[in-house]
Structure 1
Amino acid sequence: MKSVIAGIAFLSAAVSVTPASAQTPCQPATYAAPDGDFVVLAKSPAVAAPALRYQFRDGRRGATSDADVPLACGAADVSVDGEVWKPIAFRETPASFDSVGTKMNGMLIEPSGQNAQRPLVVMVHGSERSSPIGGIYGYAMAAQGISVFVYDKRGTGGSEGEYTQNFELLAADAAKALDTARGMTAGRHGRAGFFGGSQGGWVAPLAATRTKADFVAVGFGLVASPIEEDREQMVSEVRAEGLGKDAEALVNRLSAATSKLVLTNFTQGYEVLDAVRREMAAQPWAAAINGEYSGAIARMTNDELKRLGRARFDNVELIWDYDAVAALRKLDTPLLWVLAGEDREAPIETTRAALLKLAEAGKPFDVYLFPDTDHGMFEFTTAADGSRSITRITDGYLKLLGDWIKGDTHGAYGRVERLTPR
């Protein structure tokens, strides 16, 4: 699953602030309001230095260089709506651990003070290759009173090995990360588990079957295989174009054809793919169909696919027909799953149905949905051509994650809908 790239247009409240160019340079830190609200300022590859990415607990985000940035930086604090917010002191401890013969690089972030009941969470990343160390999410969790362990995915950042999307190997790494974090926080943590976003929704529950975990939380992940994800993305694309059942049937046939190729290392399935290509050639909309990979496969020649297909589409050891439901059936750990209601990258129909069925069968699963949100729990605006522009993370999402991990969900969380009974 592709990582969420933050190119953010920000909807701000009407506040009067000093122009960004005249501000004191902002310092990476997490700043707290007297009432417990917070904003994280961090370096980001999506923001040109020396500006920083900012992220409020309520989901507002942008760059400190934005003309309408809703905060002003002081030498050791920030001002929001005229109120001074002070930096939160965290204890940050570099870490390394070995997993399946590979040295991994991590960081433990702990709120100040000793608390033997403080939750501990290991952040399980998505498919991105960037380091989560120093990123927004870890500090947004820690600002809510949670100890957080972040680590570089193998083959990225300071971790050795080769980048992969093999869920079994990534789950082994995550399990080892939790064991390491537990050892580092002995005597000063309570319940301990995983949070995974996007592709982490495949990895985190599997990791919880490989080591003891007290909880698993997932945001905008899938209970569907990568093959099903590709198919559902194409179905979502034809529905967004207002096309009918014939178009859905055609992209389903395309998915069946391309799945044969990827499951046989591009040795079988070409006759069926050719038949689908002939059908698609008569459809003016077919050139705009992408999915996760099927559109690109359909637009390559058979000779190209035989020579290059595996290198192009299967070079990261992806488990194409991964059975996520089987992993969840093994899981008796409390699980939170948060769905993005209009997720184009990870369409939710199969995932929602599978989770509710497992919950009805007695699994301790809490399923929530934020309406009108896309992958990453982003709200968006839609242009006349159907394209979307991200605005913000939906209000309530970060707070729901923090409260659920602490075992203390109460009150409202924006516009969230709970899909499972209490």
Structure 2
Amino acid sequence: MRGTVVLPAAPAPGRPGMVLVHGAGTGTPREKLMTEAVEFARRGIAVLVYDKRSAGYSLFRRSYAQLAGDALGAVAALRAQPGVNPAKVGIWGLSEGGWVAPMAAARSADIAFVVVVGANGLPPLRQQAWAVAAGLRRVGVSGSLVDRAEPALYRAIADGGLFPEPHHDPVPTLAALRQPLLGIWGNADLLTPPEESPPIFARALERGGNRHYALHFFPDAEHAAHVTPDGGVTRAPELAPGYADLVGSWVRDVVAGRPPVARVEGPAPVQASHTRPTPPSAWWESAPMQVAALALFAAAFAGYPLAAAARRLRGRAGAPATRAARLVSAGGLTVVTAGFGYLMYVVMTGGKLAAPGPLLAGRPVIWLALQALAVAVGVAAVLTVLALRRRRAALPRGERVRAGLVAVAGLVFIPWAAYWGLLLP
């Protein structure tokens, strides 16, 4: 792996050093953190910043333990640099690096201190579900889309193995940390819950008997502690005023044997909404059960008109068991496909720049339309069942099978739609 060492201009023997660990992203280049590297070097710290790995790391696959191993390799490289005191080399982690840097430090006594920025004390799945939900709430969304459907989708994605390290618990690692820690959060952080995470860090460190920590909050700063002109949406190139000075002075105190004791400074951040637990799915809501339900819907809802078309081509078309079955078929297929399509769009565009479309009473118009159609499908499913019971003897065997499959799928659709919030306010 390749990296760059940034040194202070004035030579000085035995200076402290610090390795910078990236946030989330595949193959993030070292230039992404060069602003931090240069500013920290100007405060007397030798800094190593390296290109993040791409092999073995992707949107659907990653290992924090592997990333911690990369960071330890970088620490070893910096400790071997001329003019760097190997006993004074620490590690700095941003965002995802806030999970990785403490893990590396807990594995090695070669790391003298830890700095985290925008770090999470919560599992990744819970943090990500909060970030997207909070983005939707900021633009005025309320109701079942944000309260039920969005977190349910994230849990289903994680249950299907498409969300890496979803339930990673950082607390045991923090409790095992023995090095001094500096935690920094911007009050306008829209990706990490800035009100909930710092107390988790403090409690975990205290539980492990480590009181050498300082937690600092910067006003008008975003996730990476850069200046933000619009409440955290945009990241300006400049670091928050006083951020680099704080890191420089804190590192000097720590390596001189004067680590702070349980210090909390800066205006406390306030979250507009709090995170919610995202436990692993129960069997009845698991990814296999969701796939089974979707397979049933595809066979019944799509199969009904296809079978009718085939019968017409063979000249065997007859009256349907009930016109309600047609609504169950067409409406159910529309709700399932359009519903998941819209949910995926909301998740992909959520967070800082949520764009759910026009709203009516806090509900996206698209979601309201899907909900209205879901209600109609549920009613039509009940009517189809009643019609089949009433006309069963008079119906041809083929129509009984076709309409029966649609009725069964329609009845399954009702609890499925309720689970996804389509039948909830």
TM-score range (shorter-chain normalised) is 0.5 to 0.7
The equivalent residue for 1:374 is 222
Kindly indicate whether the alpha-carbon contact (under 8 Å) linking 1:218 and 1:338 is maintained by their aligned counterparts in 2: yes
The equivalent residue for 1:349 is 195
Name the SS of the counterpart of 2:28 in structure 1. Answer: coil
Structure 2: distance between partners of 1:344 and 1:357: 23
Structure 2: distance between partners of 1:194 and 1:236: 30
Any gaps of 5 or more consecutive residues in structure 2? 260-264, 269-425
Q: Which has the larger radius of gyration?
A: 2
User: Which of residues 37, 40, 57 is equivalent to 1:138?
Assistant: 37
The equivalent residue for 1:289 is none
Structure 1: distance between partners of 2:235 and 2:158: 34
The equivalent residue for 2:175 is 329
Shift of 1:357: 2.0
The equivalent residue for 2:250 is 404
Kindly indicate whether the alpha-carbon contact (under 8 Å) linking 1:262 and 1:320 is maintained by their aligned counterparts in 2: no
Could you say if the C-alpha distance between residues 171 and 115 of structure 1 is closer, same or farther in structure 2, counting changes exceeding 3 Å? same
Could you say if the C-alpha distance between residues 254 and 243 of structure 1 is closer, same or farther in structure 2, counting changes exceeding 3 Å? closer
RMSD: 3.0
The equivalent residue for 1:264 is 159
> What are the superposed Cα offsets for residues 360-388 of structure 1, whole Å, 9 maximum, x if unpaired?
54422211111232212233334xxx894
Kindly indicate whether the alpha-carbon contact (under 8 Å) linking 1:236 and 1:347 is maintained by their aligned counterparts in 2: no
Structure 2: distance between partners of 1:379 and 1:144: 19
Name the SS of the counterpart of 2:116 in structure 1. Answer: strand
Shift of 1:396: 0.7
Shift of 1:340: 1.2
Residues 1:226 and 2:124 aligned together: yes
Kindly indicate whether the alpha-carbon contact (under 8 Å) linking 2:121 and 2:197 is maintained by their aligned counterparts in 1: yes
One-letter amino acid matched to 1:224: L
The equivalent residue for 2:346 is none
User: Which of residues 108, 111, 118 is equivalent to 1:211?
Assistant: 108
Residues 1:251 and 2:146 aligned together: yes
Count of aligned residue pairs for this structure pair:
251
Name the SS of the counterpart of 2:18 in structure 1. Answer: strand
Structure 2: distance between partners of 1:208 and 1:387: 29
Kindly indicate whether the alpha-carbon contact (under 8 Å) linking 1:126 and 1:198 is maintained by their aligned counterparts in 2: yes
Shift of 1:354: 0.4
Structure 1: distance between partners of 2:86 and 2:177: 22
Between structures 1 and 2, the one with greater helix share: 2
One-letter amino acid matched to 2:128: D
> What are the superposed Cα offsets for residues 34-86 of structure 1, whole Å, 9 maximum, x if unpaired?
xxxxxxxxxxxxxxxxxxxxxxxxxxxxxxxxxxxxxxxxxxxxxxxxxxxxx
Question: What fraction of aligned residue pairs are identical, expressed as a percent?
Answer: 28
One-letter amino acid matched to 2:69: A
The equivalent residue for 1:196 is 93
> What are the superposed Cα offsets for residues 139-163 of structure 1, whole Å, 9 maximum, x if unpaired?
22111111111211112xxxxx344
Shift of 1:119: 0.8
> What are the superposed Cα offsets for residues 90-144 of structure 1, whole Å, 9 maximum, x if unpaired?
xxxxxxxxxxxxxx1122233342422x111111111243321592222221111
Kindly indicate whether the alpha-carbon contact (under 8 Å) linking 1:355 and 1:365 is maintained by their aligned counterparts in 2: no
Name the SS of the counterpart of 1:191 in structure 2. Answer: strand
Kindly indicate whether the alpha-carbon contact (under 8 Å) linking 1:125 and 1:200 is maintained by their aligned counterparts in 2: yes
Shift of 1:199: 1.6
Any gaps of 5 or more consecutive residues in structure 1? 1-103, 156-160, 267-309, 411-415
> What are the superposed Cα offsets for residues 211-234 of structure 1, whole Å, 9 maximum, x if unpaired?
221100011121112111122214
Kindly indicate whether the alpha-carbon contact (under 8 Å) linking 2:57 and 2:63 is maintained by their aligned counterparts in 1: no
Structure 2: distance between partners of 1:138 and 1:211: 23
The equivalent residue for 1:417 is 266
Structure 1: distance between partners of 2:181 and 2:147: 31
Shift of 1:172: 0.7
Structure 2: distance between partners of 1:187 and 1:239: 48
Could you say if the C-alpha distance between residues 234 and 152 of structure 1 is closer, same or farther in structure 2, counting changes exceeding 3 Å? closer
Structure 2: distance between partners of 1:170 and 1:191: 22
Shift of 1:186: 7.2
Structure 2: distance between partners of 1:332 and 1:343: 27
Structure 2: distance between partners of 1:225 and 1:359: 17
User: Which of residues 56, 71, 88 is equivalent to 1:174?
Assistant: 71
User: Which of residues 142, 166, 180 is equivalent to 1:320?
Assistant: 166
- TM-score normalised by structure 1 residue count: 0.53
The equivalent residue for 2:17 is 120
The equivalent residue for 1:91 is none
Structure 1: distance between partners of 2:198 and 2:133: 16
Between structures 1 and 2, the one with greater strand share: 1
Structure 1: distance between partners of 2:64 and 2:120: 13
Structure 1: distance between partners of 2:19 and 2:228: 29
Could you say if the C-alpha distance between residues 371 and 211 of structure 1 is closer, same or farther in structure 2, counting changes exceeding 3 Å? same
Structure 1: distance between partners of 2:232 and 2:71: 35
